[in-house]
Chain A
Amino acid sequence: MEALRIESTHKTPRVILDPENGIFELSGRSIPEDALGFYKPIFDWLDAYARSPLPVTHVRFDLEYFNTSSSKNILEILKRLEAIHTNGHEVRVTWYYDEDDEDMEETGQDYQALLNLPIELSVKIQS
């Protein structure tokens, strides 16, 4: 399956969905002009991937900041991953947050509470 790669901008995240190399990642900021327009290709890609996923899919979320319209779309991504997981294919999510960013940590906890999906909260290592 062809990878989906979207380069980051100063208001949208970098997206890599690359099953061949086992890289699934969203990173950066997310305050797009049209959140649904930005996330729709990701939903479509995941819907196609769900038909034949890898035995283990490890997805990294490493976001700097985002607004609630993005958080709803991120939840939609996680729901698609949850469906893959429920269908017997292992999915692991790592939710990175800055140790001083309690809101980002709390958002990860929200997703843990709302989904039946292994989501590990992990403090970013400062470079």
Chain B
Amino acid sequence: MHSPALQYTYPLYRNMLDNSVVFMYHGPITPDIVVDVLGIIEDRLEGTGEHRRVSKKLFNIMVESFSLTEEVRKGETILMVRQLPYLYSVSIGRRIQTSSVHEVRAYLDSVNVMTPDQVRAEYHRLLNNVAPEHPTAVGGLPAISILDLARKCNGYLHYSFEYLDDDHTFFSLEASIDKIKKQ
């Protein structure tokens, strides 16, 4: 007789395989865990022949993605890296306050229609005019991290919200990078 856990092993494996998931982490995220995760990804990229430009970019996106989960300490955080033929994607998921959903959605929508120069200008504004001890937050998320991800992936930030209850909503954000540099 199978233990309950074994019933989920193959479906999980199949799901990860079908969705090109090469790495998944669920749990609290601390700087120590960030370093460990980056080490694992580095090991996985080594020997794949991946261009250093791409692996550097992937690293930088992962480092900043973790900033969106900094105050989450109870294991509600998930991080996922997908490797597709032409791109990598880094997704993070975490709980946020349901009352923050509108603010976060509005901010992401505004960033997604900005030109690269506008994103850069707004990033500069937040970097230069806001004291480090009082970062600008959007629904509890650091606005500058969202802008930084938008700059690094040079494109659209996909997001979703899954309503959990009146207090909590699960928020997911995905940043992708092309394996081939756009001209």
Enumerate chain A interface residues (CB-CB to B < 8 A). Answer: 10-11, 29, 31-33, 35-36, 39, 65-69, 71-73, 75-76, 98, 100-104, 106, 110, 113-114
Task: Assess A68 versus B60: contact at CB under 8 Å? Given A11-B35, A110-B124, A114-B128.
Answer: no
A65 touches B60 (CB 8 A): yes
B127 touches A114 (CB 8 A): yes
**Is B171's CB within 8 Å of the partner chain A?**
no
Question: In the complex, how many angstroms separate the beta carbon of A83 from the nearest chain B beta carbon?
Answer: 15
A103 touches B132 (CB 8 A): no
Q: How many inter-chain residue pairs (CB < 8 Å) link A and B?
A: 76
Question: What is the interface of chain A mostly: helix, strand, loop, or mixed?
Answer: helix
Count of interface residues, chain B, beta-carbon cutoff 8 Å = 31
Task: Assess A68 versus B32: contact at CB under 8 Å? Given A102-B57, A114-B124.
Answer: no
1/0 per residue, CB under 8 A from A, across B120-162: the answer is 1001100110101101000000101100100110000000000
Question: In the complex, how many angstroms separate the beta carbon of A116 from the nearest chain B beta carbon?
Answer: 12
17 A-B pairs besides A29-B35, A73-B132 with CB distance below 8 A are A31-B66, A33-B30, A36-B133, A67-B67, A68-B64, A69-B132, A76-B132, A98-B56, A100-B52, A102-B56, A102-B57, A103-B60, A103-B152, A104-B56, A110-B123, A110-B127, A114-B127
Find chain A residues with CB under 8 A from B53 CB: 100-102
The one of B56, B67, B135 that contacts A101, using a Cβ cutoff of 8 Å: B56
Complex CA–CA separation, A96 to B132 (angstroms):
23
Q: Which residue of chain B lies nearest to A65 when distances are taken between CB atoms in the complex?
A: B63
Question: In the complex, how many angstroms separate the beta carbon of A105 from the nearest chain B beta carbon?
Answer: 10
Complex CA–CA separation, A110 to B147 (angstroms):
14
Find chain B residues with CB under 8 A from A65 CB: 59-60, 63
Complex CA–CA separation, A73 to B130 (angstroms):
11
**CB-CB contacts below 8 Å: B38-78 with A:** 51-53, 56-57, 59-60, 63-64, 66-67
Question: In the complex, how many angstroms separate the beta carbon of A6 from the nearest chain B beta carbon?
Answer: 16
Task: Assess A67 versus B64: contact at CB under 8 Å? Given A32-B31, A114-B124.
Answer: yes
Task: Assess A100 versus B51: contact at CB under 8 Å? Given A31-B31, A31-B34, A67-B64.
Answer: yes
The one of B34, B127, B128, B132 that contacts A11, using a Cβ cutoff of 8 Å: B34
A100 touches B127 (CB 8 A): no
